[in-house]
Structure 1
Amino acid sequence: MATPVSTPSVSMKSLSPPNTPGSITPLNLFQNSTDPDTPWLVQKFGGTSVGKFAVKIAQDAVAGHLANYKVAVVCSARSGSTKALGTTNLLLKAASEALAPRQPSTAQTPGITSPWSAAFAPTPPSFSPPLTPVRRTSSANRSPSIVPFSLTPLAPVTTFGATVDLIRSEHLTAARSLVRDQTLLKQLEGEIERDCEGLRTFLFAAQVIDEISPRSKDSIIGIGERMACKLIATVLNDRGIDAEFVSLENIVPAWDDIDISKEQSLDQSFYDRLSAVLGERLAQCGTRVPVVTGFFGPVPGSLLRQVGRGYTDLLAALLAVGLKASELQIWKEVDGIFTADPRKVPTARLIPSITPDEAAELTYYGSEVVHPFTMEQVIRQNIPIRIKNVENAAGCGTLICPADAIDSPPSPDSPVPAVTTISNLSLGTENGFQRNRKLPTAVTIKEGIVVINITSNRKSVSHGFLARIFGILDKGGLIVDLISTSEVHVSMAAENRQGKKALDRLVAEFQKLGTVTVVSDMAILSLVGRQMRNMVGIAGRMFSTLAEGKVNIEMISQGASEINISCVIDGRDAVKALNLIHQSCLQIGTDVGTQRGGPWLF
């Protein structure tokens, strides 16, 4: 049970509301239980939830679970009113602006101060040497610019300063609208000001040396999560929950076999050791609710390169393992995982539970679920993942857990409760005999796909043909979603995230091997379900449905895992195809179709 305690004194470490005249202070603060047998629950909140539903996070998501769990909170950087105004995007924009070419100037821009402007002040006229130009070449491979020998100062760049000011104002506005206690608010405002000034100084320094290393970019992005966690910790305290901000920017120890200055692959042992360190760190929080940054500091090479922008989910998973949590909750703005995108398919249903393999397939083919590597970290420790809606905290959400836990009968000793999936639903009876028809789990669409068709001009060397194709793909960094091959012909479907120029370079390389055609604006339609390997005729039903709907198929592929069937269609038919397949293969209705072996309900 959560433990109510007397209100402690104010410190940035505890962020606890004080007893000051005029402040809104609850009589008691609620803390994590002191009972060692109380299980841990790790809750991860995305940037949109932090940006729009901070109060719901405090009052519903966290407070609603403190009675039965010890809660740890992990936050992403706060999102803005639009994607472009998201904190992470603004931080990346500021980093890019810091390396923008500058123009020589002797004038100081009003309102912007440069810490090095005095050091590079113009030489007095009586001592001016000849203005022999020298070349200054950027580490970012930009064109060299001419700089006078007399060290004429470069005008301070106001663009990144304006971006930092926007980050600052967004967080201050959010703080003032969410925090009621004035002492807490002033304390939080001071933290936001210090973080933004630290960011500004860091970018000024990067501008001087004209370089931002991958590790420096990691640190810049980490500032967003630090401010988000301070905001949420303050809102929790303001709503009566004793919370503590925990920064993990220096959590990775100096292991003898790990050199953070060099890029090296991180094996599972690294993540296992990191999980243990995370668990030990949070144990130091005592009864306070820890609010933890998803950014966990320097790793070999770069955190963004090693993991990507989904590292917050990974940290939450590693934290759940380190705490031996009973569950990892990923909070979004939807009720869970649906049989199709409910924004495009009105009849889509919530899936009560799903296996990690199914969730991984849905993630690969367009649905934003959880990254497969993140799922692996917790599932291998028998910790289930639950997708929940921050706007509907009372909802059950969708549970991601192994198939044996889904299919097994309830057991009081099982760490994962037995649940029911849509694929196990029993549909109807025939002559008193119940017919159990297995359904696919979900259908998803991935748009913005380009199809590349290559026909070899040297039919006798097919093995070399394929090897060279994969070499070109590796060099160009194009990740292929689907591939179909014959001895002399290859068709590939991929999402081109690198732009038209990069695609044109790849096509030019492929043209050395043979004839190349490119079809743009396509979409991948995928039907996913772990029972599909046993569903006789499901592929025929899928493709006949598309044919009846006059949806042309460009490519067909069945996943090696046998739990998904995918095809490539025209992007203009994506929504229509999604609804057709959902109605035909996933809809629970009363239409009777004739199949071999007797009538079935669809």
Structure 2
Amino acid sequence: MSDRSTVSSASSSCSSSVSSPSLPHTPPNLHQNTIDPAAKWLVQKFGGTSVGKFAVKIADDIISEYIDQHKVAIVCSARSGSTKALGTTNLLLRAAKEALQRTSSPSDTPGSMTPALFSQASQVQSPVGSPRQRSTSSPRELFTPGGSFSMSQANHAPAVFNSTVDIIRSEHITAARAAIRDSEILRELELEIDRDCDGLRSFLFATQVIDEISPRSRDNIIGFGERLACKVMTAILRDRGIDAEYVSLENIVPHTEDEGSYSHETLGQDFYDRVAEAVSERIRQCGPRVPVVTGSLLRQVGRGYTDLLAALLAAGLGASELQIWKEVDGIFTADPRKVPTARLIPIISPEEAAELTYYGSEVVHPFTMEQVIRRKIPIRIKNVENPQGGGTVIHPDADMDAAPYPEDDMLGVFAVPGAAPTSRGEHGDQTERKLPTAVTIKERIVVLNVNSNRKSVSHGFLAGVFGTLDRYGVVVDLISTSEVYVSMAIEDGLDKKVLDRVVRELRKSGTVTVSRDMAILSLVGTRMRNMVGIAGRMFTTLGQGNVNIEMISQGANEINISCVIDARDAVKALNMIHQSCLQIRPEGARGRVGPWLF
């Protein structure tokens, strides 16, 4: 295998990295991570859309600009497709569903297995429905941890999932041919894609034989997309002269005492600390090579969690920063598609970011943030299409400046060209006003109002209501209670039959009314604590705009005031609160405007 190969084994890569007692020099025409002992690690996580649409830009304009000053590790999500329906994860879910669809034939009888399944198996040489010859290479480890089922055991009737696997293969082959110039690298990547698609067919066939896909098997199938995306990204980096190494971590997760435990909610922080230590140790073995890491940890952790893996890796390496690259400039004071005067927020606290995540913005999951924030590592959200921008920093201490990067020297730390001073006091404004940080709207909300029938005492009434919600797995976004009255805002995502059953159960506790087409309006900011009059200003503004309030709620941390309004008034209310409470006027400098995080 050539030194410019797409995927190299861990043993060969590690031996080449540490065989000499002195630090190795950068090979000719191959760009490596800096060998400066003082350089710190920088973990960069790229989402599926970024990997699917901007892989070459990531290699040319982002990674190559960082590896001279930092030791960079990359984590990738499964790549997007040419359309949303052709996204890798969507296709894998479809293939998993199709694997349980049995092909009928006149000889089949209910409850029995066709004898043809195991007859003349040795005569079948290639996967049924595959547009090419089966690879003669040995099976890869990706989907065969305990041995491989051969598609040669399959029925002669085409499996339904074969066509979906062919689409996955075609999407990745097409992307590789469009991005990779070196014919040798392209050839090796195509062979790797073929082998992995064979492994996926074999795994799907195995689930078809047992007629069952467990949660762990489903996660294994979905994790295929992340591993394949990382291989494509590794090949593109190699093609661009960057010495990258593909690193798969699904077998590195430490065992727990209870191997039957699968939900991440049952795992303690000590488990995640051990994962961080294990993955960081594996990455250090790559030496000066740039590791491209899969975000899929298949054992106890479950599906994907690329953000979580990136956070654990940053924590284990003691990284200077965790960068999450999206197709947005960062977090804004409001959605600029609905609020033209919205501004980029240069720095935000973890508490504020968590509240925004709960109420409509896809910032970073609070549990993921916790893994790095507790190690005093900042998170920076940046735009793949604007790599020179400062982005938004989620900093452990939001009153401190984040570590500057070269682009900050050109733009000014967190500078937004033409922007007026905001509540954070940047651009030299030393007089900081106590103002909220952002306003957000979460639409498609249903409000359930339950009025007690007084047949039980107050605690029995509340226990009955919440017990019903728990049995049906209903997640409550917002709640307002009294002794005999409960109002709950939930997402309008429940199946109609499930919601009807929930309402019937709740009627055993009292009178129930359902209000649809609602929205949650939330005002967020750590500086709202002890801010006299901010709630009055918010509700007075809504009243002056003839916006009716269905319910009101404020969290115990006092950094969030939320209310439920009619969805038809959402955009109007968003603009009024943005102007009134954040005191950002339509006139004057607007700052940088771009897509927001949802």
The answer to whether TM tops 0.5 is: yes
Among 7, 13, 23, the residue aligned to 2:8? 13
Provide closer, same or farther for how the CA distance between residues 120 and 513 of structure 1 changes in structure 2, counting only shifts above 3 A. farther
Note the 1:475-490 alignment, pairs <5 A: 475-490=471-486
Asked whether the equivalents of residues 496 and 503 of structure 1 are also in contact (C-alpha less than 8 Å), the reply is no
Asked whether the equivalents of residues 245 and 286 of structure 2 are also in contact (C-alpha less than 8 Å), the reply is yes
Among 308, 318, 324, the residue aligned to 2:312? 318
- For residues 403 and 63 of structure 2, the distance between their equivalents in structure 1, rounded to whole angstroms, comes to 28
- 2:60 aligned counterpart, secondary structure: helix
Unaligned runs of 5+ in 2: 13-26, 121-153, 405-411, 416-420, 588-598
1:215-260 alpha-carbon deviations (Å, 9 max, x no partner): 11111011000110001111111111110011111111335x2425
1:365 matches 2:359:
yes
1:86-143 alpha-carbon deviations (Å, 9 max, x no partner): 1111111111111124423469xxxxxx99845268xxxxxxxxxxxxxxxxxxxxxx
Asked whether the equivalents of residues 426 and 436 of structure 1 are also in contact (C-alpha less than 8 Å), the reply is no
1:514-570 alpha-carbon deviations (Å, 9 max, x no partner): 111111111101000000113221111111111222211111111121001000011
Q: Point out which structure has higher relative CO (alpha carbons under 8 A, 6+ apart).
A: 2
**Bigger shift: residues 35-44 or 380-389:** 35-44
Note the 1:446-595 alignment, pairs <5 A: 446-458=442-454, 461-589=457-585
CA RMSD of aligned residues (A): 2.9
Aligned to 2:424: 424
Aligned to 1:342: 336
Asked whether the equivalents of residues 106 and 155 of structure 1 are also in contact (C-alpha less than 8 Å), the reply is no
- For residues 258 and 69 of structure 1, the distance between their equivalents in structure 2, rounded to whole angstroms, comes to 39
- For residues 472 and 214 of structure 2, the distance between their equivalents in structure 1, rounded to whole angstroms, comes to 22
Alignment identity in percent? 66
Provide closer, same or farther for how the CA distance between residues 120 and 511 of structure 1 changes in structure 2, counting only shifts above 3 A. farther
Asked whether the equivalents of residues 260 and 298 of structure 1 are also in contact (C-alpha less than 8 Å), the reply is no
Aligned to 2:409: none
Unaligned runs of 5+ in 1: 1-6, 17-25, 108-113, 122-152, 592-602
Asked whether the equivalents of residues 448 and 488 of structure 2 are also in contact (C-alpha less than 8 Å), the reply is yes
Aligned to 2:29: 28
Provide closer, same or farther for how the CA distance between residues 253 and 462 of structure 1 changes in structure 2, counting only shifts above 3 A. closer
Asked whether the equivalents of residues 406 and 418 of structure 1 are also in contact (C-alpha less than 8 Å), the reply is no
Aligned to 1:81: 82
1:392-449 alpha-carbon deviations (Å, 9 max, x no partner): 11110000012xx33258999xxxx9989943338999xxxx9642221001111111
Deviation at 1:576, TM superposition (A): 1.7
Deviation at 1:193, TM superposition (A): 1.1
1:190-216 alpha-carbon deviations (Å, 9 max, x no partner): 111111111111111111110011111
Deviation at 1:497, TM superposition (A): 2.6
- For residues 403 and 118 of structure 2, the distance between their equivalents in structure 1, rounded to whole angstroms, comes to 72
- For residues 565 and 292 of structure 1, the distance between their equivalents in structure 2, rounded to whole angstroms, comes to 39
1:406 matches 2:398:
yes
- For residues 567 and 339 of structure 2, the distance between their equivalents in structure 1, rounded to whole angstroms, comes to 16
- 1:104 aligned counterpart, secondary structure: coil
Deviation at 1:587, TM superposition (A): 3.7
- For residues 214 and 540 of structure 1, the distance between their equivalents in structure 2, rounded to whole angstroms, comes to 48
Provide closer, same or farther for how the CA distance between residues 409 and 53 of structure 1 changes in structure 2, counting only shifts above 3 A. closer
Among 370, 384, 387, the residue aligned to 1:393? 387
1:33-60 alpha-carbon deviations (Å, 9 max, x no partner): 2222211000000000001100111111
Deviation at 1:496, TM superposition (A): 3.5
Asked whether the equivalents of residues 105 and 155 of structure 1 are also in contact (C-alpha less than 8 Å), the reply is no
Deviation at 1:8, TM superposition (A): 3.6
Provide closer, same or farther for how the CA distance between residues 500 and 240 of structure 1 changes in structure 2, counting only shifts above 3 A. same
- For residues 39 and 455 of structure 1, the distance between their equivalents in structure 2, rounded to whole angstroms, comes to 58
Asked whether the equivalents of residues 14 and 243 of structure 1 are also in contact (C-alpha less than 8 Å), the reply is no
- 1:347 aligned counterpart, secondary structure: coil
Q: State the structure with more CA Rg.
A: 1
- Give the counterpart letter for 1:348 in structure 2: A
Number of equivalenced pairs = 522
Provide closer, same or farther for how the CA distance between residues 154 and 241 of structure 1 changes in structure 2, counting only shifts above 3 A. closer
- For residues 386 and 428 of structure 2, the distance between their equivalents in structure 1, rounded to whole angstroms, comes to 32
- For residues 369 and 61 of structure 2, the distance between their equivalents in structure 1, rounded to whole angstroms, comes to 25
- For residues 220 and 530 of structure 1, the distance between their equivalents in structure 2, rounded to whole angstroms, comes to 41
1:262-319 alpha-carbon deviations (Å, 9 max, x no partner): 66810000000110001110011111100000002211xx614xxxx5x110000000
Deviation at 1:331, TM superposition (A): 0.3
- For residues 6 and 222 of structure 2, the distance between their equivalents in structure 1, rounded to whole angstroms, comes to 26
Q: Taking structure 1 as the reference length, what is the TM-score of the superposition?
A: 0.81
- For residues 401 and 517 of structure 2, the distance between their equivalents in structure 1, rounded to whole angstroms, comes to 46
